[in-house]
């Protein structure tokens, strides 16, 4: 039996999350997505495997993290070897503009409520995070 919530969820959350880029051997704060979103932004989201940030976090990250990419999938620039491959904190205003221009709703009331309550729950692994992931906003697509 399939959950009634599975097919009706057009809402997703954007996060700013540290990752270890194993190609460049550096840490980056990238924009991640709670689940594969509906609509045009889906072409800019891809599941990516990342190494743990430290040996003390072994097994704490999901096997793949949904990451917001700068370029559409299949556009020829789909490679970690490109320094500007992932969207970062500097791109948040552009991402918000993109979402609004493409018909997404940014739920500021829900975003504020969740941020004030300091919920840091990882729905992929069903455990609480250490606080490294920071919520940017809650979005939905009609």
Cα separation of 137 and 43, whole Å? 19
Per residue in 122-141, pLDDT (tens digit) is 444 443 444 578 889 999 99
Q: Which two tokens stand for residue 140?
A: 């939905």
Within the chain, where are the H helices? 92-101, 108-117
Q: pLDDT category, 22, cuts 50, 70, 90?
A: confident
Contact, 42 vs 36, CB < 8 A?
yes
Where does 13-118 have alpha helices with state H?
A: 92-101, 108-117
* pLDDT number for residue 125: 45
| Alpha carbon distances (Å) from 30 to 58, 120, 139 | 20, 17, 17
pTM assigned to the model? 0.78
Compare 86 and 117 and report the one with higher pLDDT. Answer: 86
Q: What is the mean pLDDT of the chain?
A: 78
Residue 2 confidence class, pLDDT cut points 50, 70, 90: confident
């Amino acid at each position: 039996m399939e959950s009634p919530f599975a097919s009706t969820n057009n809402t997703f959350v954007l996060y700013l999350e540290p990752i270890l880029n194993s190609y460049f051997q550096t840490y980056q704060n990238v924009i991640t997505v709670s689940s594969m979103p509906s609509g045009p932004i889906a072409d800019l989201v891809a599941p990516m495997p990342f190494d743990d940030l430290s040996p003390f976090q072994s097994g704490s990250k999901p096997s793949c993290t949904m990451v917001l990419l700068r370029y559409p999938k299949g556009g020829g620039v789909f490679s970690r070897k490109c320094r500007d491959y992932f969207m970062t904190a500097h791109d948040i205003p552009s991402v918000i503009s993109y979402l609004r221009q493409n018909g997404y709703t940014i739920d500021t009331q829900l975003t504020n409520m969740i941020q004030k309550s300091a919920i840091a729950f990882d729905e992929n692994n069903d455990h609480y995070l250490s606080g490294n992931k920071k919520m940017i906003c809650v979005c939905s697509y009609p």
